[in-house]
A and B are shown apart, each in its own frame.
Chain A
């Protein structure tokens, strides 16, 4: 019969061999097999693909990132890009964990709020790219991310907000908020999101968006309480939201993703949407899909939606060579060719490179996006993060307003109280 001793000695022998093999593998790995051909440079790219269930944005961004990576590798043989897609909620814990091991990503692509958090925690470091390298690219909004002589992050793409609608049900889009309610009263099914950053465009029609943004700023230096005029504007907007929900054909839903789904499945006729949803909607609605500027205010004030902005940040754990490749990658995706390519192939994305000419005459869709961007609020690190960090609390307050659970002045008091609380 088998005894324990021979088993143990066999195990010891096996373990010694495994240990020797592991040591040899590590030596080869660390030594980098210097005698042979140069090994490929491997780059980790973490991409935060929207918030939680934002499946539409996620799939669009994944496709876009894969296109970029393929093109970069084709132009840079010997470089391998490894893309890791995460939700915005996962990004921060994931990077904290990987960076604690020394294995953080080399490049991070995310929206402004998570990029600001990563920067404040030191999980990403400012770019080494010099103005000499960046200036020719004429990158929009770059100066907003300056930290001393360097840039904490580099703008990569802009994703404007629009009105998306089914032209078969609605030949002409409503130009004002009042017209939107009139159409809803006529039976046009309208959908609006209960997310403050996605709904703020409607506040701009009442001149309430800037006061609200300043009220909800995280940074004490920028935060400004509402004066009586601003209060009146915000109350007018909250009143409009309540009146809007009285219309049976107008509905508020929890997320933009749900709105897109409902328009795609023809449960709604008009929604406010981000331009990244266009390709998904086009697949479902075909030529029936149309896009327009978001409706202006009662007095003709243009809608000022918050445009989404994707940023490039650089990881802190890269080797000097990895950092060089990461910056080369950044310059690649920011150059005229790539930005133009991304604009044309990844529908819904607008270039930050101002050398790229947007073909507004050839494409009404791009023209609308360009016009929307002109009026948009594009947040910097210090702006706009207050909205994102208080999404749930603001959604709750907005729900209380639209469902009439609280009168607008009480809801406004809630928003003011929220602005004083640490997010």
Chain B
């Protein structure tokens, strides 16, 4: 640590020089002008105007970097700021284009989680490289880990690589999944499983590379494994159990992202199969449910998408005793057949299910392609039945009771 502070102290000697201070002051003045312009709200409502302003800012940096050497002063730092601004501007433009082309929220999330941190890290490393040389500072020893001297470069890798592996592997595996899905004709569930497994493999390989890079030897790994086994026994047993369950679910294929399940009587769609938990989306109230993976091992899971995606729905209705059941059944089946979202094969079928106290009770059973649409489709069918009954003069009786008075 002392050596690191010593190296950083050397930079103070560089940045305290008149030529560097002058460049920094020019850069700060230009940045402040830009910020004031943004603060007045001129750039916030029109993002493309803000991009244009950044282009102007980059150009001003470049111009200043050319002017200062003419006055016999160094201007390279301003040129460097200009390059950084130009890259940032290009990224900002790309962000706007992506927001238009794809889901804006997803783009924003990826931007905040991956692009921005990566840009900042590369910016910092780039500045250090120009100022002092990355190799020199990267070799500075910081601490000992399992008898291995951990250099600054390795420490930064240990801290940063897992994050970027997790975050940055997201997009490439989705693209890979798309390509593989098209080439091999995979369903969305299998595609998502493939994506997830590929991602875990990438993260695993990255982790192994990292362990090798920082020089973790077999003894160190044994020590980690020993620590984990104790940890597994106490604190993180559930986490590990959920992780294994998640992997098992993927390989077994019983639950895929995209599957439709019944959870506590509600229809939900699997959105994400995570390391620890599965995220389900509940249509009824647009809620996301985070369910620990091991629940799928310890409780019965009802799915509509196991062998196929079709679901059977049912509408119960009562008709007055005065109507011929044949006519009622014919009307019900006709209504179902006329609905575009009711599958023709298997054909919809109506049944007389009971002689009730007030009505003859019928059940109309029908099939749909999308299991998540049951409630909406049932509602539409009930409305159609009401109109069809009215058209055919079929009465839907109120509950009635015949009371006989003894004389």
| Neighbouring A residues of B18 by C-beta, 8 Å | 319
Q: B112 contacts A11, CB within 8 Å?
A: yes
Q: B74 contacts A101, CB within 8 Å?
A: yes
Q: B23 contacts A7, CB within 8 Å?
A: no
Q: A3 contacts B17, CB within 8 Å?
A: no
Bound-state Cα–Cα, A7 to B13, Å:
38
A35 adjacent to chain B (CB < 8 Å): no
| Neighbouring B residues of A360 by C-beta, 8 Å | none
Bound-state Cα–Cα, A80 to B11, Å:
11
| Neighbouring B residues of A60 by C-beta, 8 Å | none
In the complex, residue of chain B having the shortest beta-carbon distance to the beta carbon of A39: B12
In the complex, residue of chain A having the shortest beta-carbon distance to the beta carbon of B24: A26
| Neighbouring A residues of B74 by C-beta, 8 Å | 99-103, 317
A309 adjacent to chain B (CB < 8 Å): no
Of A1, A39, A319, most buried by chain B (CB within 10 Å of CB) is A319
Report the minimal beta-carbon distance from B167 to chain A, rounded to whole angstroms. Answer: 14
Q: B9 contacts A40, CB within 8 Å?
A: yes
Residue in A3, A11, A40, A317 whose CB lies within 8 Å of B105: A3
Report the minimal beta-carbon distance from A3 to chain B, rounded to whole angstroms. Answer: 7
| Neighbouring A residues of B16 by C-beta, 8 Å | 29-30, 32, 319
Q: A100 contacts B108, CB within 8 Å?
A: no
Q: B19 contacts A102, CB within 8 Å?
A: yes
A4 adjacent to chain B (CB < 8 Å): yes
Residue in A1, A40, A318 whose CB lies within 8 Å of B17: A318
| Neighbouring B residues of A32 by C-beta, 8 Å | 16
Q: A44 contacts B12, CB within 8 Å?
A: no
Of B14, B20, B75, B131, most buried by chain A (CB within 10 Å of CB) is B14
Report the minimal beta-carbon distance from A26 to chain B, rounded to whole angstroms. Answer: 6
Known: A26-B28, A30-B21, A102-B76. A80 touches B6 (CB 8 A): yes
Known: A4-B104, A101-B130, A102-B19. A322 touches B13 (CB 8 A): yes
Q: B28 contacts A23, CB within 8 Å?
A: yes
Residue in B10, B14, B76, B112 whose CB lies within 8 Å of A100: B76
A219 adjacent to chain B (CB < 8 Å): no
Q: B75 contacts A103, CB within 8 Å?
A: no
Q: A29 contacts B15, CB within 8 Å?
A: yes
| Neighbouring A residues of B15 by C-beta, 8 Å | 29, 103
Residue in B13, B35, B104, B131 whose CB lies within 8 Å of A42: B13
Tell me how many residues of A have a C-beta within 8 Å of chain B: 34
Report the minimal beta-carbon distance from A188 to chain B, rounded to whole angstroms. Answer: 42
Q: A42 contacts B77, CB within 8 Å?
A: no
In the complex, residue of chain B having the shortest beta-carbon distance to the beta carbon of A32: B16
Bound-state Cα–Cα, A40 to B8, Å:
12
Chain A, range 1-16, C-beta contacts under 8 Å to B: 1-4, 7-8, 11
| Neighbouring B residues of A40 by C-beta, 8 Å | 9
Report the minimal beta-carbon distance from A315 to chain B, rounded to whole angstroms. Answer: 10
| Neighbouring B residues of A4 by C-beta, 8 Å | 104-105, 108-109
A121 adjacent to chain B (CB < 8 Å): no
A392 adjacent to chain B (CB < 8 Å): no
| Neighbouring A residues of B14 by C-beta, 8 Å | 42, 44, 103
In the complex, residue of chain B having the shortest beta-carbon distance to the beta carbon of A103: B14
| Neighbouring B residues of A98 by C-beta, 8 Å | 130-131
Known: A1-B288, A26-B28, A319-B17. A42 touches B12 (CB 8 A): yes
Bound-state Cα–Cα, A100 to B77, Å:
7
Of B13, B28, B75, B80, most buried by chain A (CB within 10 Å of CB) is B13
| Neighbouring B residues of A8 by C-beta, 8 Å | 108
A82 adjacent to chain B (CB < 8 Å): yes
Known: A80-B9, A82-B10, A84-B133. A7 touches B109 (CB 8 A): yes
Bound-state Cα–Cα, A19 to B14, Å:
21
Q: B20 contacts A100, CB within 8 Å?
A: no
| Neighbouring A residues of B12 by C-beta, 8 Å | 29, 39, 42
B208 adjacent to chain A (CB < 8 Å): no
Bound-state Cα–Cα, A5 to B10, Å:
41
Known: A26-B24, A102-B73, A102-B77. A41 touches B17 (CB 8 A): no
Chain A, range 94-144, C-beta contacts under 8 Å to B: 97-103, 106
Of B17, B21, B288, most buried by chain A (CB within 10 Å of CB) is B17
B330 adjacent to chain A (CB < 8 Å): no
The 6 closest A-B pairs by CB, nearest first: A42-B13, A100-B76, A102-B74, A102-B19, A82-B10, A4-B108
The 25 sampled A-B contact pairs (Cβ below 8 Å) are A1-B288, A4-B104, A7-B109, A26-B24, A30-B16, A30-B24, A39-B12, A42-B13, A42-B14, A44-B13, A80-B9, A80-B13, A84-B132, A84-B136, A101-B74, A102-B20, A102-B23, A102-B77, A103-B74, A103-B77, A106-B13, A317-B19, A317-B74, A319-B16, A319-B17
